Structure 1
Amino acid sequence: MVGSTDGNRSPGHPNGSNHGPHRSAELKLDELRRVLSKSEGSLLKIVGIGAGAWGSVFAALLQDAYGQFRDKIQIRIWRRPGRSVDRSTAEHLFEVINSREDVLRRLIRRCAYLKYVEGRLGDRVLYADEILRDGFCLNMIETPLCPMKVVTNLQEAVWDADIVVNGLPSTETREVFEEISRYWKERLSVPIIISLAKGIEAALDPLPRIVTPTQMIQCATGVPIENILYLGGPNIASEIYNKEYANARICGAEKWRKPLAKFLRQPHFIVWDNSDLVTHEVMGGLKNVYAIGAGMVAALTNESATSKSVYFAHSTSEMIFITHLLAEEPERLAGPLLADTYVTLLKGRNAWYGQMLAKGELSPAMGDSIKGKGMIQGVSAVGAFYELLSQPSLNVLHPEENKHVAPVELCPILKTLYKILIKRELSTEGILQALRDETANDPRDRIEIAQTHAFYKPSLLGQP
């Protein structure tokens, strides 16, 4: 998501400056170093935690943009060691290498090509951290990255890092950052943490509320919330690395989000900033829920534009309803939420997962960590949102039945996805039944309900 300003990959981009791309990048780096009070000769140390598609792209593009200034900045990425690359993936990787002359030449210069030949032949086992050093993410084989500085020891990676980028799935964030906190007990300075994770957990005691990755990180490490930020937007990792134009928001305390937005902003990747940390983070998880259903509908109806539009109408009305439960000023979220939803439905892993389920190529019993794709965040988010919105303490007045019901009763798509993915009581065809139920309300009615009733539940986001 971070873009690149180096002269090697994109020398022709204007950047609004009288300097060349190299000098412009150095000026931005120097400015961030000043903000962070880095002394002359002291490296600004940035480490990415987690090497899925998004985390790897983020680190790789930072390396592309600023890695040339070795006396001022160090950029590394941590991933767990020991994950082997299976034979079929090694064969695919070999095809990708040989289809890209620049990659082929780079590996030959680094004396690394032979191991991919041996991997292709089955004479050698390749490992995920090993190929990452050469610029290949296991979850995104077809998009070669720049060579990476990979660390497999977590303590070594984080103990003196100035900026830590959380590229882990939300389901792994708490556990890893609890381990990280043990290595920070003797720290004198507080690091900055940027979370890329899109997912939530549900907490029910003492009140039902959503727990986001930034809150997990704060709880695990004790780092003040003003030093923890969320960065997200409507984008696909591989396309961002290939310089497709995109944008995102970095959300959090003004002290850090403004200088970091400037540092991350690139000609093809515009980074805005916003103070609303938790709500944007929750919205990033919410759209994954409905993306899975969109994939199911697409596969079950042979990509029927009509059916997909019906699903889009119902699912977006549910999302709007849920945002009115969560946010005091939900209208501010409409644009970012719909944009992120749109791109996820077009080409996201959650929509792909829904398609594979509907086609019978995957099943819910296989779990939500899929080879070549990584973690399907929408599955755990379905469970979390359903569990939260089914709590009696959150009951709202049903507009037609004149009785109080749990909010989830006004979200039939969410209920159906829960029965398919979590309870496994329905097949994927159940999503079509949810759309075709002749007693279902016009989606407009749900939006009107949300807008005309005092449904805002500040406790859901831990607000008083």
Structure 2
Amino acid sequence: MSAHAQEHRPVPPRLAVLGAGSWGTTFAQVLADAGAEVTLWARREEVAREIREEHRNRAYLPELVLPDAVHGTSRPEEALDGADAVVVAFPAQSLRSTLAPWPDLPAVPVLSLTKGIERGTDARISEVIAAAGGADPALIGVLSGPNLSAEIAARRPCASVVAAPDQELADRLARWCTAPYLRAYTSTDVVGVEIAGAVKNVIAIAVGAASGLGHGHNTTASLITRGLAEITRLGVALGGRRETFAGLAGMGDLVATCASPLSRNHRLGLALGRGLDVEAAAAEVGQTAEGVATARAVADLAARLDVDMPITRAVVSVVDHGARIDEVTTALLSRSVRSE
């Protein structure tokens, strides 16, 4: 390559990914494949060392070999130093406690990969990042869509949506996320995309439970359709745009999460339907199923806004109050006649 060409070759963005679970690790690969230099922060030094020295994270993705552009660290200051943007991939319920002891996040764009509602505060994840991480709300974007990490890690084609408070920021974040196998669309409906990504996990538990009980596709299609209606009602009540819920973050993510055996929330629901209690079902899944903790937060939010969410309430009665899943399913299907 000539010296002139080298002078004009664009400098790759330096991106920090916080959280080396399966989704954070997978997305570090996406960003590297899209042309970035990526520093992946892991809580445990042994995980960071394995990423740094072997480009592997066997605890979560044993088959994956990470690109050379992904570097591992267990030091937050090293991950954040010089970053052009920060990507947050912590579980929803531990996000605040993880960020709180750290210095404020740098004044750069922040992209949330986390799907959930914080229990106890009913806060959306972007609100938690602003409060606990000191990030400017105007710089916080969110990514959602059909995001089954195992398929994306295998570089299977997919699409996602990146939402940010303004179009320019959404465009910039989407460019950084667009890999040969991942197409990133943009939106300015941060509220709608976050609510869709959070509540679909709750609906997926109900759909998985119906399958575990032996019900067929008519039942699961009914639950998915009525689940989308619930998600839309809550999202619109919070200021989201109705069309968001017919798109990738709404229907797209809901179908993938409710139908795929790769979905943790679907698998947890299956285990409940087979008769396991919540603790045993969670142990069988082995990784965080966000819908369990999110269900109560969503139900509280819906009650405060007077939004009817019967499927969500049913999931709460099972995961928080020990109701029998077969009784809940019967109650859902025997509701009084009403207009759709």
Separation of aligned partners in 2, 1:363 and 1:131 = 35
Contact 1:52–1:137 (Cα < 8 Å) also in 2: no
Separation of aligned partners in 1, 2:240 and 2:67 = 43
> What code does the residue aligned with 1:353 have?
L
In the other structure, the counterpart of 1:167 is: 89
Matching of residue 310 in structure 1 with residue 207 in structure 2: no
> What code does the residue aligned with 2:136 have?
P
Separation of aligned partners in 1, 2:242 and 2:222 = 23
SS at match of 1:191: coil
> What code does the residue aligned with 1:150 have?
G
SS at match of 2:321: coil
Q: Structure 2 stretches of 5 or more lacking a match?
A: none
In the other structure, the counterpart of 1:191 is: 108
Residue 172 of structure 1 and its aligned partner are, at CA, apart by: 1.6
How does the TM-score come out when normalised to structure 2? 0.85
In the other structure, the counterpart of 1:53 is: 22
> What code does the residue aligned with 2:162 have?
I
Contact 1:202–1:387 (Cα < 8 Å) also in 2: no
> What code does the residue aligned with 2:199 have?
L
How do 1:199-348 and structure 2 match up within 5 A? 199-201=116-118, 210-252=122-164, 253-301=166-214, 304-327=216-239, 329-336=241-248, 337-347=250-260, 348=263
> What code does the residue aligned with 2:110 have?
I
Separation of aligned partners in 2, 1:350 and 1:164 = 27
Matching of residue 413 in structure 1 with residue 311 in structure 2: yes
Matching of residue 364 in structure 1 with residue 278 in structure 2: yes
Q: Given the superposition, is the C-alpha separation of residues 139 and 427 from structure 1 closer, same or farther in structure 2, using an over 3 Å criterion?
A: farther
Separation of aligned partners in 1, 2:109 and 2:186 = 16
Moved runs in structure 1, 4+ residues, more than 6 A?
none
SS at match of 1:59: helix
Q: CA RMSD in A?
A: 2.8
Residue 341 of structure 1 and its aligned partner are, at CA, apart by: 0.3
Residue 166 of structure 1 and its aligned partner are, at CA, apart by: 0.3
Q: Structure 1 stretches of 5 or more lacking a match?
A: 1-22, 34-42, 67-72, 83-126, 205-209, 396-406, 448-464
Residue 258 of structure 1 and its aligned partner are, at CA, apart by: 1.2
Residue 288 of structure 1 and its aligned partner are, at CA, apart by: 0.7
* Of 167-176 and 250-259, the range deviating more from structure 2: 250-259
Q: Given the superposition, is the C-alpha separation of residues 181 and 279 from structure 1 closer, same or farther in structure 2, using an over 3 Å criterion?
A: farther
Q: Given the superposition, is the C-alpha separation of residues 386 and 46 from structure 1 closer, same or farther in structure 2, using an over 3 Å criterion?
A: same
Contact 1:137–1:144 (Cα < 8 Å) also in 2: no
In the other structure, the counterpart of 2:269 is: 354
In the other structure, the counterpart of 1:115 is: none
Q: How many pairs were matched up?
A: 328
Separation of aligned partners in 2, 1:163 and 1:328 = 25
How does the TM-score come out when normalised to structure 1? 0.64
Q: Deviations over 1:204-248 (max 9, x none)?
A: 6xxxxx411111111123321121111111131121222222111
Q: Deviations over 1:109-131 (max 9, x none)?
A: xxxxxxxxxxxxxxxxxx54454
SS at match of 1:267: coil
Identify which of 432, 443, 447 aligns with 2:329. 432
Contact 1:140–1:372 (Cα < 8 Å) also in 2: no
Separation of aligned partners in 2, 1:335 and 1:54 = 21
SS at match of 2:16: strand
Contact 2:192–2:244 (Cα < 8 Å) also in 1: no
Contact 2:48–2:72 (Cα < 8 Å) also in 1: yes
Matching of residue 141 in structure 1 with residue 62 in structure 2: yes
> What code does the residue aligned with 1:307 have?
T
Contact 2:17–2:24 (Cα < 8 Å) also in 1: yes
Q: Deviations over 1:176-200 (max 9, x none)?
A: 2222335x6xxxx612211100001
Residue 151 of structure 1 and its aligned partner are, at CA, apart by: 0.6
> What code does the residue aligned with 1:414 have?
T
Residue 367 of structure 1 and its aligned partner are, at CA, apart by: 8.5
State which structure, 1 or 2, has the greater radius of gyration over its C-alpha atoms.
1
